[in-house]
Amino acid sequence: MLIVGNWKAYVQSSEKAKKIFAAAKRVGGHAGVQVVIAPPAPYLGMLAVGNRSKVEFASQDVSLSTGGAATGELTAAALADAGASYAILGHSERRAMGESDEMIAEKVRHALANRLKPILCIGEKERDQDARYLSGLRAQIAAVFAPLSQKERMQTVIAYEPIWAIGKTAAEAITPADLGEMVLYIRKVLSEYLPGRGAEKATILYGGSIEPGNARELASGTGVDGFLVGHASVDADTFSRLVKALY
């Protein structure tokens, strides 16, 4: 199970950052889980220095800029150099700020060029009775995957995050049955882009109100490979319980 803690902008003190990281290291050493944390960039740099634990780091985004005269931008190269090994890209909160599929595709290429594994977020705003949201998801994948090489596609993790389930409670998250169906659907779309057993082997995460109370049931029998966790990843005790539920 790959568990990615997306700290968003919830953490704004180094003291809190250190506390959550310490908890992540304690629970992240278990053989059954790979814990990745995505702190705000200053804390990523601070925590990743000299990290010898099993916990890895993700950036929450990368810049469209590849460097030079671009004040305020965080490039994939700098984030990788600071200690990130993954990059969360196309998160719905960034799409809401105006990121297009084309921009996200470009960011995926920047990430891969700097040996950051992209975690490509896709997800529908709401569900309609005619299941048109499924073609929206297909389009989100196509826009990013079509221009990539087979090798690049294989390194890209998909995070299915239905927007209607983000930032709520476990009770409002997706059901195991629906998640199982969505994972199958996403693998079917991926099979158009990945050769052989590529789609079967692809890493698919779910995100949207994952908490200690629903992680286990959503992990079993749904075919999902892990979770992208928001609010439940920024409290040391809650995050520890969540990870342990997946041992």
Report the 10 Å Cβ neighbour count for 150: 12
- Residue nearer to ligand PGA on the CB measure, 2 or 194: 2
List of residues 6+ apart from 240 with CB closer than 8 A: 23, 26, 27
* 99 classed as catalytic: no
Shortest Å distance, C-beta 93 to ligand PGA = 7
When asked if residue 228 is in the footprint of ligand PGA (CB under 6 A), the reply is yes
- Give dist(CA 131, CA 135) in Å, integer: 8
What is the sign of the dihedral through the CA atoms of 205, 210, 211 and 217?
negative
Residue of this chain nearest to ligand PGA (CB atom): 230
* Dist CA 23 CA 19 (whole Å): 6
**CB of 92 within 8 A of CB of 228?**
no
Residue type, 138: R
Single residue of 6, 114, 156, 214 touching ligand PGA by CB under 6 A: 6
Q: Does 172 bind ligand PGA (CB under 6 A)?
A: no
Segment 197-226, which members bind ligand PGA (CB under 6 A)? 207-210
Q: Which residues contact 102 (CB under 8 A, 6 or more apart)?
A: 143
User: What x/- string results for residues 122 through 161 when contact with ligand PGA is judged by CB under 6 A?
Assistant: ---------------------------------------x
Cα pseudo-dihedral 9, 85, 51, 54, rounded to 10: 100
At closest approach, how far in Å is the CB of 197 from ligand PGA?
Answer: 28
Residues binding ligand PGA: what is the number (CB under 6 A)?
13
- Active-site residue, 217 included: no
Among 80, 82, 166, 224, binds ligand PGA (CB under 6 A): 166
| Residues with active-site annotation | 91, 161
Name the site residues for ligand PGA (rule: CB under 6 A): 6, 161, 166-167, 207-210, 228-232
